[in-house]
Amino acid sequence: MQSIFITGGGSGIGRAVAILFAARGWRVGLADINDAGMAETARLLGGAPVTVHKLDVRDRAAWDGALAEFAADSGGRLDVLFNNAGIGVGGNFAQTTVAELDRCVDINLMGVVYGAHAGYPYLKASGGCLLNTASAAGIYGTSGVAIYSATKFAVRGLTESLDAEWHADGIRVRALLPSFIDTAILDSVPVGRNGTARDGVRAAGLEFTPVEAAAQAAWDAVHGDRLHTLVGKTARRMWFAARFMRGTFRKKARGLT
């Protein structure tokens, strides 16, 4: 039986991916700091084989323990490591606290780095896939979420580097670049003076992409050859504009058009 280990499995995209992969016959390992969230995700999987692992992705040693626990249950098999855990940090960059900056970098970037580092021997043994959640904010620097955007650029760069480096080892490396997925993270990220990311999306007339679409994109990424999988209309528009209309896109980002 194929198996997937999912960080951030207690909610959002991680939960949706767990549900989809379990429904298609995969063994699922859920990792999160949220015990209640993992328990609810596990309940939603019905009778599918699932294990739960309390994991702070910032702790490199804890990664080794969690993956060893998962491998003991899966017969040593890890076909997909889904580096999905992340947080949003928004607002005026100059007013963001050092603690908030450090936490965002530690979770969104170093959590992914540690996951890749710890997962390598398992993925090499299985000829598996490392799937990282980046973001549309990693396509072009995004005002109001500067540190978040920076971490997602870094995840995208790591994905591209390891795609080349690990090809000879038979490991596929992929990234999801979602735009505005309809999950609770949009309600927890302040953007601007008085609103959240969800308020900003509504004010701009942009779309919310169902979380199930992100789960299907993850499935397609794992089973396809595309390095970056864009999720949502905004992500696709940003990719095009950043590639072919950089000058116009820059002016728009600065509020000059």
- What is the rounded CA–CA span in Å between residue 214 and residue 145? 21
Question: Looking at 114, 122, 140, 148, which residue is catalytic?
Answer: 148
Buried b (16+ CB within 10 A) or exposed e, 139-160: bbebebbbbbbbbbbbbbebbe
> What residues contact residue 142 under an 8 Å CB cut-off, 6+ apart?
136, 148, 149, 253
**114 given a catalytic annotation:** no
Using alpha carbons, select from 231, 7, 206 the residue that is nearest to residue 197: 206
Using alpha carbons, select from 139, 231, 133 the residue that is nearest to residue 181: 231
Single-letter code of the amino acid located at 70: F
Q: How do strand 195-196 and strand 190-191 relate by DSSP bridges?
A: antiparallel
Residues taking part in catalysis: 148
